[in-house]
Amino acid sequence: MRPNCLNCGAPLTNKFCAQCGQKAEVKWLSLEIDIDTKIDLQMEIENYTLHKLKNGDTIPFDLLLLADETEDAIEKYIYDSDIYTVLTKDNLSPIGVFALYKINDSKVEIKNIAILESFRGQDMGSFLIVKIKEIAIRQNYKEIIVGTADVAIKEIQFYEKNGFKKYDVKKNFFIENYPEPIIENGIMLKDMIMLKTQIA
């Protein structure tokens, strides 16, 4: 499975897309996904496949709960989202998941993105962001947004590394949208930082 052009979706075979001419700088598992961000995917991409859930498919709440606190919170968005699971050739059970929620015809939000702990530290998160951008481009979105806790420094740095920039703060989001206080690393979550990336 070859990486696809992030501009038109065509398979990339060299440093330029044969279909639209976009510079790609492909070195097997290396993709330049925008001007500022270059990701080396330290994995064999062909060993992973994405599966879009259809009506009636089992929603992997166990994975989704790795990135959100309660099933009640997840159910507020999950049934209106497109859900994708990540599978390996050797494992029929998903090892990762993300949910994309349409804001309008030009904007989509990453509502949830999670990976099993045993598969973390392998640039899998960056791989999923690449696939999300490809999906968004194919569906003619111009912007992807995502929110995370203002104290989640590691997560904010991850999104910034992958081309996202901060643009807003949702004050008291975690206080108003969750019935119980959420404590992480001894800090009660309060505000949500919003980040975005332009893809067209």
Does residue 79 sit in the same domain as residue 119? yes
Confidence label for 8 from pLDDT (cuts 50, 70 and 90)? low
Does residue 131 sit in the same domain as residue 169? yes
Give the model's pLDDT for residue 120: 83
Does residue 11 sit in the same domain as residue 101? no
CB 43 within 8 A of CB 123: yes
**Strand order across the beta sheet in which 107-115 lies:** 48-52, 81-88, 91-104, 107-115, 143-149, 192-198, 165-170
Residue 161 makes CB contacts below 8 A (sequence gap 6+) with 37, 39, 126
Tell me the average pLDDT of the chain.
80
Q: Count how many domains the chain has.
A: 2
Range of the domain at 135: 33-198
138-164 per-position pLDDT tens digit:
999 999 999 999 988 999 999 999 999
C-alpha to C-alpha distances, 91 to 57, 110, 196, nearest whole angstrom: 17, 25, 33
119-137 per-position pLDDT tens digit:
887 788 998 999 999 999 9
Q: Which class for 48: exposed (0-12), middle (13-18), buried (19 or more C-beta within 10 A)?
A: buried
Domain holding 142: CATH number? 3.40.630.30
Give the model's pLDDT for residue 9: 59
55-81 per-position pLDDT tens digit:
989 999 999 999 998 899 999 999 999
